[in-house]
Chains A and B, each alone.
Chain A
Amino acid sequence: AQSVTQLDSHVSVSEGTPVLLRCNYSSSYSPSLFWYVQHPNKGLQLLLKYTSAATLVKGINGFEAEFKKSETSFHLTKPSAHMSDAAEYFCVVSDDYGGATNKLIFGTGTLLAVQP
């Protein structure tokens, strides 16, 4: 079965410092992995996706993630945090091998706080 584990429920950084949000996955085959972000009172927005092409994936707003099969990790990074990055971030795997559902399996979320 597919699953993802987000290692930190809360992360706090200072504005201008790097962001690292950690995610490990479990999959019996090559997974499709995503990071979604939810700002307060907004819907979930796709930040980036990995679908077995390049292992370093660039997303919106300066975020990127690296797929590391040997470590079963898909950590999200950003070189310099901005106040507007404060939100909840979800690591997600798609449960879609051979099927037509593409249902998403979410991690428990990481709340990112950015201090001025």
Chain B
Amino acid sequence: EAGVTQFPSHSVIEKGQTVTLRCDPISGHDNLYWYRRVMGKEIKFLLHFVKESKQDESGMPNNRFLAERTGGTYSTLKVQPAELEDSGVYFCASSPMTGVGYNEQFFGPGTRLTVL
């Protein structure tokens, strides 16, 4: 079974440009999460989808970030326009929906974003 995949693995862009990150969760996983780790800081939650609906987007830093999950399958995270402080590693995770207790979140390898 394929794990969570993320594309691209690395992206280098200039300040002011737009970048779109993609996450493909494990097939059948209704929950999809985005997290981010900026340099020297801890990994922080950005948002949570249940199927195509945003369950919690309390961690999104500002309105330059837009996440979508059309059709409840893969998800994209767009940063427009990118700023220097957006540099970091963006992780995606998915988990099944069993409705009881904690469902393990399976993480992708991350996308390393560098804004110059």
Q: B7 at the A/B interface (Cβ < 8 Å)?
A: no
- Are A44 and B107 in touch, CB under 8 angstroms? yes
Distance from B10 Cβ to chain A, minimum over Cβ atoms (Å)? 11
Q: B74 at the A/B interface (Cβ < 8 Å)?
A: no
- Are A41 and B109 in touch, CB under 8 angstroms? yes
B104 contact set on A, CB distance < 8 A: 46, 49
Interface of A is mostly: strand
Distance from A16 Cβ to chain B, minimum over Cβ atoms (Å)? 30
Contact pick for B42, options A101, A102, A109, CB 8 Å: A109
Given the contacts A41-B109, A44-B91, A103 and B33 also touching, CB distance less than 8 Å = yes
Range, interface on chain A? 20 to 34
- Are B109 and A43 in touch, CB under 8 angstroms? yes
Contact pick for A108, options B41, B55, B95, CB 8 Å: B41
Q: B8 at the A/B interface (Cβ < 8 Å)?
A: no
- Are B42 and A103 in touch, CB under 8 angstroms? no
- Are A101 and B102 in touch, CB under 8 angstroms? no
Q: Please, how many angstroms separate the alpha-carbon atoms of A105 and B33 in the complex?
A: 12
Number of B interface residues at 8 Å Cβ cutoff, please give it.
Answer: 28
- Name A34-86 residues within 8 Å CB distance of B: 36, 41-46, 49, 51
B41 contact set on A, CB distance < 8 A: 108
Q: Which of B43, B48, B50, B91 has the most CB of A within 10 A?
A: B43
Given the contacts A41-B109, A44-B107, A49-B102, A104 and B45 also touching, CB distance less than 8 Å = yes
A102 contact set on B, CB distance < 8 A: 31, 48, 95, 102-103, 105
- Name B81-111 residues within 8 Å CB distance of A: 91, 93, 95, 101-110
- Are B110 and A43 in touch, CB under 8 angstroms? yes
- Name B27-66 residues within 8 Å CB distance of A: 31, 33, 35, 41-45, 48, 50, 55-56, 59
Mind listing 16 A-B residue pairs with CB under 8 Å? A32-B102, A42-B109, A43-B3, A43-B4, A43-B91, A43-B107, A43-B109, A44-B91, A44-B107, A45-B107, A51-B102, A100-B50, A100-B55, A106-B42, A107-B42, A109-B43
